[in-house]
Amino acid sequence: MNRRRVTRRRTHAGRTSMRRAVVAALAVAAVVGGGLSVALPAVAAPRTLVVDSLAASGRDAVPGDGNCATDSKTCTLRAAIEESNALKGASGGVEIVVKDGLSGDIKPTMIESTGNWMTTANVTSWDAGAAYEITAPVTIDLGNRVGVYPVTDLEMAAFHVNGEDITLKNFTDIFGSGSSVVFGPNAKRVVLEGGQSVTTRSYYPERFAVYEAGATDITIRNYRLQGFYNDGEETGLFLFDAGSKTAPISNIRIDGVAVDYVSGGLCTFADGTGCRTNLTSFYERRNVNLQGFSFTNSRVTNLSGVDAFRFGLGTAATSITLSDLDISGNTFLNVQGRAGSYDTSLITMPNTPLGGANRISNNTFLRADSGQSYAIGWAAAASPGLTAASGLDIIDNHFDGYSTSSIRLRDTGRVNVSGNTFGARSASQARPALGEETSDNAALLLDNHAATANEGLRTWYPSATATVLTKAAPEGSIVVSPRDRDSISSMCMATVQVTKPTGAGTGILPADGADLEVYWTANSTAELYLGRAENVAGATANLTFSLPMGAQTLPGHKGNVSVVAVDPTTGTVSGYVRVQTHLNTEPQNTSSQYSRVVPVTGNCRPALTLKQTETQNDPTTNRQLHYRLTSSVPLDPSTVQADDIKLTAVATEFTYDATRINARVTGVTPVEGSNGTIFDVLIEVDDSATVTATLPKGTVAATSGLANAGPAASDDSGITFTNPVTATKSKFSVVTGEPNGQEYAYALRAGAPVPNSELVFELALDAAGQEHGVRVSDSAPEVAAEGEHTDLIRVTAREGAVAANTATAILGTLRSGDPRYDGLVVPTVTPFLFATDPSIEIDKRAYTGVTDSSSPARIEATGTPALSGARLLDAEQVCFVYTVTNRSQDDWATTLSEIVVTDSDTRLGQNGTIGTIARLGIGESTSLSACATLIPVDTTVTVGAER
């Protein structure tokens, strides 16, 4: 039941505190068991004082002698602190610890006197003194074993910290009958870390930490709190007490704390389990000048009926002065707060401008089933102007359950509100949610009230159904960049058209160059942040964005919930998308309310294409063939294997050996930055062929496990490779025993890759060649790096009888440090052997003044023969007619075939090859021709033939 606390309280400025028991209304969430302990690396201290007694009032016998000892030769906590204060050591010079095995409560004598308390001066607006007062640098580690607990409600503080460079470690169950720890006006560079204070035995404790005007650089971290009596702004877990003073309270940091509010229990002189009080309080509010306040990486659960951060009460006169606020990385779970309008929001900003840089970021705000209508409310009645920078960023938070607006801004000027998401319980306009864009004082995710915040910036909006990409994105599409693409296991690309607002209406229109943030929702909120498109201009634009595949876990007030944008089994997408517009105004962005929603449709199973890269030559003389595999969604790289790609290779007219084409996939490599949607495929081949690559259905899978439903599409899957290695003559006749034989070389085709290493040909003879003593002048000819051909290779045969036109073969292999050449098929060279010269006769005649060189007959008809002994001039155009006659007879008479006629002047014909006569019977003749400019050198005509 409710009972007044009738024990005398200290009266200030005519006010007498009246206390009422309060019954908590919320179930406690799972919390960290026990206190939060901190173990830091040991630092050698010049002097350590060891507390060995739990007595409350034992004073140090001789302060400053370096020893902690009372008259009874014990070391109490008071004696240790008195000794430390007297020593006035440097930072880190004195440490107070607890003797091993000592544990329990110190119970101060609740009679106001210097014999009982270290100070009886008012240390706050309510506390008449403090059991312990720390004024010199010291580290106190109570090991979470020694606590301080009052036995009556005479209002006093447990600790008054009023010096510099003080560290309090592992403080568990530290209570005063008013305040636990007071940071006085001279407190500077103070850290309290590790431990917990949970009221269970009575309602006496009212405040955990009190910051007095002038306190600066105070940090509380890794601490757990629960309970404490509530009596409005005079009480609170973290209370800023300016009283009538206006000196700033500076650089206050609260990090890693857990604050739990419970349901059930009582809040009486004999039971404190049901007590709960404000998270933060301010007194006298109009005098509090808070310069630098951070509340970070903490958890607050089941807050109900009290304030969290109420920096203002509705007017400038009832607001604190605030600068450099940082509320980041926290979870507010199942909170109700103090129900009411926007001036009782969970975070109620002051009704005044802010100083410095302020942010509310990366928090999770989860309201209970009932409670506050707003999470963040700011009515800056004293705003310097509607277009002024407010100094506040509200970014990357998640809200759920707020029944009017999660964020409401009025008279604030420009506030950067970006990257925030909203659960399904958040108030918003019903689909298609056109009212979300410009409505006011309604169910909205964000309310730029009456265009007094962010100038009522009107937002771009999606103007057509969003669809999954099944082909290339529309030309000129702007890619929406996720916040952290690497953290998203699988994605599905989609596109949406957006349109810039036009015409008359409330609020300003966006200028070109705006940034658009894209959100997905299952209905009409914004559960998932998809990313940001920058520098959007024009009347319309196409945005390409990624949808996460499978269940996405979101925090909920009663446990995690999940949403599904893409079904992980079927690949079907669902839900809606919307955008929010931001202008890159300096020094602070301008943010719109959220847009209407449009559906997103399509399927996210992998749709694949496999075709040659844009830079691949076709046909090509480079045996490395480059393909690119592209997927509509990110693929699991482990499923993209070389064996999955099927190849066919068809011989061409330039193929030397169709059995040795050996087309194969030698590499499948994800393209950097493609997030598994693009893979480079390298195929190699050993001989000329047209190669086609395909990828069958069901062979690769997205990271979600969805396999490709059909084969990879391609409009350009074939590449023709021509072996760049040739022989200048591949067939010719050799007379056995004739020492000059025939000559040929290995050369590279025009346009072949320039070799970056030597090409070494290793030559061998077939059995027939070995039998008849065929020899080559160089069995390992080379093409030099950056070269084009080998030196000439002379082919001879041992003297002896041989059947005319006996075919032999010079077989070659190729090795090189250049992978484009190593192992290529080398053309077989075929010398045909004769025991005597088959007597091919060549008559070479010169003609000048030729007007038609299209054939030997036309040269003879239109030119003038250059008679023997005639004088020809240098650089004169001359055509030559080669008349070839088969003079073979008697036993060696034979029909000749594949007769290759060459001239030593390589400008004639094709590098000296005049032509090939397919067949020439005994006694038959035929003619070839070639033209060139005369030079003063002799030419030699040679011939090679086979049967």
Region of residue 750 (left: phi > 0; alpha: psi -120 to 50; beta: else): beta
> Looking at the predicted structure, is the pLDDT value of residue 3 above 60?
no
pLDDT for 581-632, tens place per residue? 999 999 999 999 999 999 999 988 888 999 999 999 999 999 999 999 998 7
Tokens for 787?
């070269």
pLDDT for 498-523, tens place per residue? 999 998 888 999 999 999 999 999 99
CB atoms within 10 A of CB 580: 28
Q: Tell me, what amino acid is at 721?
A: F
Q: What is the pLDDT, as a whole number, of residue 490?
A: 63
Rounded to two decimals, the pTM is 0.70
Percentage above 90 pLDDT, the chain = 73
C-alpha to C-alpha distance for 98 and 101, rounded to whole angstroms: 8
Q: What is the pLDDT, as a whole number, of residue 938?
A: 52
Q: What is the pLDDT, as a whole number, of residue 603?
A: 86
Half-sphere exposure for 224 (CA within 13 Å, toward CB): 19
pLDDT for 128-161, tens place per residue? 999 999 999 999 999 999 999 998 888 999 999 9
C-alpha to C-alpha distance for 139 and 93, rounded to whole angstroms: 8
User: Worst-scoring range by mean pLDDT, 67-71, 432-436, 766-770, 801-805?
Assistant: 801-805
Q: What is the pLDDT, as a whole number, of residue 942?
A: 55
Pairing type for strands 364-367 and 466-468 reads unpaired
Tokens for 493?
């690309």
Q: Is the dihedral of CA 687, 690, 696, 699 positive or negative?
A: positive
Q: Tell me, what amino acid is at 428?
A: S
**Three-class secondary structure of residue 86 per DSSP:** helix
Question: Is 424 exposed, middle or buried, given 0-12, 13-18 or 19+ CB atoms closer than 10 A?
Answer: middle
Mean pLDDT of all residues belonging to the chain: 89
Q: What is the pLDDT, as a whole number, of residue 15?
A: 32
**Cα dist. 395→392, 591, 625 in Å?**
10, 11, 49
pLDDT for 19-38, tens place per residue? 333 323 223 333 333 444 44
Q: What is the pLDDT, as a whole number, of residue 906?
A: 84
pLDDT for 246-276, tens place per residue? 899 999 999 999 999 988 889 998 999 999 9
Q: What is the pLDDT, as a whole number, of residue 46?
A: 65
Q: What is the pLDDT, as a whole number, of residue 19?
A: 33
> Looking at the predicted structure, is the pLDDT value of residue 933 above 80?
yes
Q: What is the pLDDT, as a whole number, of residue 946?
A: 46
Mean pLDDT over 842-864 rounds to 93
Does residue 44 contact residue 51 with C-beta atoms inside 8 Å? Answer: no
Q: What is the pLDDT, as a whole number, of residue 895?
A: 76
Q: What is the pLDDT, as a whole number, of residue 25?
A: 29
C-alpha to C-alpha distance for 360 and 258, rounded to whole angstroms: 18
DSSP states along 542-590: EEEEEEEPSEEEE--BTB-EEEESB-TTT-BB-SEEEEEEEE--SSS-E
| Domains of the chain, first to last | 472-601 (no CATH), 608-721 (2.60.40.1220), 725-800+810-826 (2.60.40), 840-946 (2.60.40)
Q: Tell me, what amino acid is at 416?
A: N
Mean pLDDT over 298-322 rounds to 94
Q: What is the pLDDT, as a whole number, of residue 384?
A: 57
Tokens for 184?
């006085």
Q: 143-157, 289-303, 862-876 — which one is most confidently predicted on average?
A: 289-303
C-alpha to C-alpha distance for 928 and 946, rounded to whole angstroms: 18
pLDDT confidence tier of residue 837, bands split at 50, 70 and 90: low
> Residue 78: in which H helix or E strand, if any?
helix 77-87
Q: What is the pLDDT, as a whole number, of residue 6?
A: 35
pLDDT for 382-408, tens place per residue? 555 678 899 999 999 999 999 999 999
Q: What is the pLDDT, as a whole number, of residue 513?
A: 95
DSSP states along 701-767: BBTTSPBPSSPPB-S--EEEE---EEES-SEEEEETT-SS-EEE-EEEPTTPPPPSS-EEEEEEE-H
C-alpha to C-alpha distance for 349 and 750, rounded to whole angstroms: 77
| 3-state percent breakdown (helix, strand, coil) of the chain, nearest 5 | 5, 45, 50
